[in-house]
Amino acid sequence: MDDRIKPFEEKMKKSLANLDDEYTTIRAGRANPHILDHLTVDYYGAPTSLQQVANISVPEARMIQIQPWEASMVKEIEKAIMTSDIGINPTNDGKMIRLVFPELTEERRKELAKDVKKRGENAKVAIRNIRRDANDAIKKIGKQDDISEDSVKDMEDDIQKVTDTYIKKIDKAIEEKTKEIMTV
């Protein structure tokens, strides 16, 4: 494969990684501490990630327990969770916070499955945009460097193969996440 295609493959890899990150934030009835990854709290005036101010554990299948290093952080963490889009009300006993995940209804599962599919489609669009950019770049290189039409065609075929590979990976990710959500 031509080295000039590598940067476009890297971009596709990043798009797939981004989709995986998005999927870890979708809760599927089980407690997943990754839904808290993007949460920041005000720690002495500086926005700080939750993992840096508290111990996060999963003592039961549908519960996340957050034990702040400092008791004074309980209220800040609780406030951050309430204002986030997690959709779970925290309970605290003054020392730690618990997030109890309710069992998902069939309707909510279907909504989440739609969201998974939509995010997957957005990732596919990103991959196709990268392919388009790659093809434009290949045509430009072909004109500038006086490369034969066959070589240009070969590079376009290579970028199409890479695109197909990443589209299949996205389809697989959509299928796996949907299956995880729909499993009761």
Q: Which CATH architecture has domain 3-24+105-182?
A: Orthogonal Bundle (1.10)
Q: Tell me, what's the pLDDT at 184? A: 62
Q: Classify strands 97-100 and 54-60 as parallel, antiparallel or unpaired.
A: unpaired
pTM across the whole model: 0.70
The order of strands in the sheet holding 97-100 is 54-60, 63-68, 97-100, 91-92
| Cβ neighbours, 10 Å, residue 13 | 13
H helices of 53-98, in order, are 74-83
pLDDT average, residue stretch 7-27: 87
- Phi, psi for 47 (deg, rounded to 5): -70, 125
pLDDT per position as a tens digit, 111-145? 888 999 999 999 999 999 999 999 998 888 888 87
Supply the DSSP symbol for 85.
Answer: S
At residue 39, does pLDDT exceed 70? yes
Q: What are the extents of the domains in the chain?
A: 3-24+105-182, 33-100
User: What is the Cα–Cα distance from 114 to 104, expressed in whole angstroms?
Assistant: 15
Tokens coding 123: 């990732």
Q: What angle do CA 59, 69, 41 make, to 5 degrees?
A: 95
Higher pLDDT: 55 or 146? It is: 55
Q: Tell me, what's the pLDDT at 40? A: 87
Domain 33-100 listed as CATH 3.30.1360.40: yes
Contact yes or no for 134/159 (Cβ under 8 A): yes
